[in-house]
Amino acid sequence: MQSDGDAAGSDAASRVDQADSVPWARVTACAGVYTAPTALVVAPALADARVLAATGWAPGALTLASGLMFVASAPGAIVGSSAADRFGRRPVAFWTTLGCGICIAVGAAAPRQGALLYVAMRVIGGAVSGGTAPTAFSWAMELTPHKARTRATTAMNVLWVLGPLLIAAWHVVTRRLSWRVEALGLAAFPLVAAAVARVSVPESPEFLATRAAPPPQREPEVYGIVGHLDPDVAAADAVAPAEPLEAPRSRSPLARLWHEHRRPLVPLILSWACVSASYYGLAYSAGALSKRVVLNFVLLNVADVPGYFAAGYLTKLGGTEPVMVLFSCLAGVSLVLVALKAPAGVGIFGKFCTAGMFQQIYAMTTERFPAEVRATAFGVCRVAAMLATFFAPPLARTAESDAAAFLVFALMAGVVAVCALVLRPRRASSSPGGGGGY
């Protein structure tokens, strides 16, 4: 028979286990929202040829649509993520994901002479869904206990990989059907993800804590002759006078981020840009590694998953920033070797390392900013990553004829290592974002 003391100890242990565990169902639902915009961003690479063959639209129209979509997603990321810091993760994630699905569905209904409608829906979808990913990632992290956030970060990154794979599978399944059927199926992805998250995931507790109302101020209590204050109440008010707590919130999340958190923001923006360019530079350079382009492409993408897991596991041993330095240096060395005509396996190892860098940059951003501006910080950093990614494809194409172009990617990896050293590791006891246990 269990004693009262044993029962209390079991309850305490249960609470500790619960505090260290990842809420997998909620994180998975957030990952669905996080991944949903790939139905708009990734799908054109597969579906546009079928759309052009069926409609006879000018190829330049769809090329313009994709370019404008990326341009529109940049301000969309800042506006959407700032709205998440002001109004909540749950409503912003829901409405932006829903809007993405609606835009894809309306585009699928465009008539044969409706190229302009199709282009407009892709551009509007890019603007609407720009803030979805930073909002969903912040939401998932804030639903996860601090000590389990490294595992949650790994899960979000691994599940993100499944998005493009599902889109590719759907493209194969519908290859004998109308392009409209494929587009409607793509629209269902964000619509279902939004609905699942809406009914199964609560609002971020950290966001709710930032919106907690300050305690009401007490009116002075009088006794006896009018105007004589209760001495106990007067003493309490003198010791702890009420302070106006709403002043800091008068600034927008973007303004607060810049004025109050500029020191970590600047090196993180630079890190996001360099990590993204290096990562996608290797992803686009399959043809430069060897003549087996398809095999190289598959291996370069498969290398992401162990990269995420390895970086996440090592974080519990060495901390977030030291592991970032390690993976950045390894990526830089491998890229230099690729420039020196090393075998294709070295480039695949470099992709493994850049995936680990992505794992760490998400963890670093989560740790460095409080809930009041966290989604905005992710939005700003992702805009920097998107802008840097524009330079990756042309540089990767240059690498196919001149391997020395890989030295540029190697230099970017070195910049990330320097930024990680600038962002000195903080003690685990003071870290607001966790990234501790695995």
Greatest CA separation for the chain: 96
* Bridge partners, 229 (sequence order): 222
Supply 270's token pair.
């630079």
55-77 core/surface letters (b: 16 or more CB in 10 A; e: else): bebeeebbeebbebbbbbbbebb
What pLDDT, on a 0 to 100 scale, did the predictor assign at position 286? 55
Highest mean pLDDT among 114-118, 288-292, 372-376: 372-376
How remote is the C-alpha of 218 from its chain's centroid? Answer: 43
What pLDDT, on a 0 to 100 scale, did the predictor assign at position 246? 45
CA 400, 405, 410 angle in degrees (round to 5)? 125
- 102 pLDDT exceeds 80? yes
pLDDT range class, residue 284, cuts 50, 70, 90: low
State the helix-helix crossing angle for 406-422 and 320-339, rounded to 10 degrees: 160
What pLDDT, on a 0 to 100 scale, did the predictor assign at position 271? 95
- pLDDT tens-digit profile of 7-39? 444 444 344 345 678 899 999 999 999 999 988
Written out in words, the top-level CATH class of the domain with range 252-430 is mainly alpha
- pLDDT tens-digit profile of 406-416? 888 889 999 99
In the chain, what percentage of residues exceed pLDDT 90?
45
Averaged pLDDT score across all residues of the chain: 81
CA-based torsion, 318, 320, 321, 323: positive or negative = positive
CATH of domain 22-202: 1.20.1250.20
Supply 101's token pair.
């699905």
What DSSP designation does 146 have?
G
Q: Is residue 367 within 8 Å of residue 431, measured between CB atoms?
A: yes
CATH 1.20.1250.20 domain span(s) along the chain: 22-202, 252-430
What pLDDT, on a 0 to 100 scale, did the predictor assign at position 82? 94
pLDDT range class, residue 224, cuts 50, 70, 90: very low
CA 295, 336, 416 angle in degrees (round to 5)? 100
* Bridge partners, 222 (sequence order): 229
What pLDDT, on a 0 to 100 scale, did the predictor assign at position 124? 94
Highest mean pLDDT among 53-57, 377-381, 421-425: 377-381
- Cα pseudo-dihedral 250, 253, 257, 258, rounded to 10: -70
What pLDDT, on a 0 to 100 scale, did the predictor assign at position 132? 95
How remote is the C-alpha of 127 from its chain's centroid? Answer: 16
- pLDDT tens-digit profile of 29-86? 999 999 999 888 877 777 888 888 888 888 888 888 878 888 888 899 999 999 999 9
Q: How many CB atoms lie within 10 A of CB 414?
A: 17
- pLDDT tens-digit profile of 163-216? 877 888 888 898 889 999 999 999 999 999 999 999 999 999 999 998 875 555
In the chain, what percentage of residues exceed pLDDT 70?
79
Q: Determine the Cα–Cα distance for residues 186 and 170; give it in Å rounded to an integer.
A: 8
What pLDDT, on a 0 to 100 scale, did the predictor assign at position 280? 78
Range in 1-15, 287-301, 340-354, 391-405 the model is least confident about = 1-15
Q: Which residue has the higher pLDDT, 254 or 286?
A: 254
**What average pLDDT does the segment 134-154 reach?**
93
**DSSP string over 355-409:** HHHHHHHHHHHHHHS-TTTHHHHHHHHHHHHHHHHTTHHHHHHHHHH-GGGHHHH
- pLDDT tens-digit profile of 341-358? 777 778 788 889 999 999
Question: How distant, in Å, are the alpha carbons of 77, 348, 408, 410, 412 from that of 336?
Answer: 34, 13, 9, 6, 11
